[in-house]
């Protein structure tokens, strides 16, 4: 029997061409029929969970780095949550013993399977069977993280260091607020020199940025950072930078935002290679 196709797109060669590995875990727009049947709200209400079309930014910016883009919608399963962040209000397989104190995300309805969204309230008609969520974890969650882990280890083996850039988007924080937020778990997931490199690019592009406020990163960074050898950074773009005025489709700012992201990727690669006294290999024609 042919194994099912993964629920994410993988770009780049098996041997990484760059120490920078890209991840786009929240831009999926694939809503399985089973998800739609379980909803108590219109499907459109769940799209607020998406990092709307930030994958389009990443695809344009991408060159030869290893990159993963999740296709399955975040409403189905959230790759930026721990497997233990299961919400007992909707998940019959959630066990109090696995997480004695529910995380703030779970309490707020944004666990491994989101329970509610702002403006729409509770999403689901009822609770999900334990084997339903287990199947999502096996098919859509672990393969992404396992592939990402392998890519980072391969990059580390080749270059001596790897840098994960986890790409997200955020609603506008308001007039005068940052339009890019860089998260490093308050210094725990990446060396400061990599964050500083991203900040320099943002300043050069004239885009206000902030560090860790209001987004410091979450499970992807916690899971994949390895002190000193695998650095992990979350990058949030204000959606008004690249979406149309309705906030629905890519807009006039798409190309310039992708150019900024490209410059950030290059800055991280240069920092990583300079740290190890190396240069990037020349791509084959």
Domains of the chain: 8-80+138-275 (3.40.630.40)
Stated pTM of the model: 0.94
Predicted confidence (pLDDT) at residue 3 exceeds the cutoff of 70: no
Closest CA to 272 of 172, 183, 160: 160
Q: Of the given ranges (77-81, 174-178, 235-239, 272-276), which has the lowest mean pLDDT? A: 272-276
Predicted confidence (pLDDT) at residue 42 exceeds the cutoff of 90: yes
pLDDT tens figures, 165-178: 999 999 999 999 99
Rounded distance, CA 25 to CA 73, Å? 9
Q: What is the pLDDT of residue 285?
A: 33
Predicted confidence (pLDDT) at residue 18 exceeds the cutoff of 60: yes
Q: Where are the beta strands (DSSP E) in the chain?
A: 8-11, 20-24, 66-70, 116-117, 121-122, 162-170, 180-183, 209-211, 230-238
Q: From the CB of residue 42, how many other CB atoms can be counted at a distance below 10 Å?
A: 10
Reported confidence tier of residue 5, pLDDT bands at 50, 70, 90:
confident
Segment 91-106 shows an average pLDDT of 78
Phi, psi of 173 (to 5 degrees): -90, 0
Alpha helices in the chain (DSSP H): 33-38, 54-61, 104-107, 130-136, 142-159, 192-204, 219-224, 254-275
Predicted confidence (pLDDT) at residue 145 exceeds the cutoff of 80: yes
pLDDT averaged over every residue in the chain? 93
Please, which residues have CB within 8 angstroms of residue 131's CB and are 6 or more apart in sequence? 93
């Amino acid at each position: 029997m042919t194994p099912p196709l993964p629920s994410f797109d993988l770009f780049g060669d098996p041997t990484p061409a760059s120490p920078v590995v890209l991840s786009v875990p929240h831009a999926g727009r694939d809503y399985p029929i089973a998800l739609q049947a379980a909803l108590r709200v219109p499907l459109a209400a769940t799209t607020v969970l998406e990092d709307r079309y930030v994958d389009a930014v990443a695809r344009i910016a991408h060159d030869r780095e290893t990159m993963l883009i999740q296709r399955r919608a975040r409403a189905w399963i959230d790759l930026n949550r721990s497997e233990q962040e299961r919400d007992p209000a909707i998940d019959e397989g959630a066990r109090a013993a696995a997480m004695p104190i529910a995380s703030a995300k779970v309490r707020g309805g944004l666990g491994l399977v989101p329970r509610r969204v702002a403006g729409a309230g509770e999403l689901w008609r009822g609770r999900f069977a334990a084997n339903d969520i287990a199947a999502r974890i096996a098919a859509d969650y672990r393969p992404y993280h396992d592939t990402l882990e392998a890519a980072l280890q391969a990059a580390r083996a080749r270059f001596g260091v790897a840098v994960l850039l986890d790409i997200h988007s955020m609603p506008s924080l308001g007039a005068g607020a940052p339009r890019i937020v860089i998260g490093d778990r308050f210094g725990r997931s990446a060396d400061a020199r990599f964050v500083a490199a991203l900040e320099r690019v943002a300043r050069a592009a004239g885009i206000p940025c902030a560090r860790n406020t209001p987004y410091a990163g979450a499970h992807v960074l916690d899971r994949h950072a390895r002190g000193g050898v695998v650095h992990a950074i979350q990058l949030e773009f204000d959606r008004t930078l690249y979406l149309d005025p309705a906030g629905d489709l890519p807009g006039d700012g798409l190309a310039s935002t992708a150019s900024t992201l490209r410059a950030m990727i290059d800055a991280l690669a240069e920092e990583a290679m300079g740290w190890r006294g190396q240069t990037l290999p020349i791509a084959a024609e």
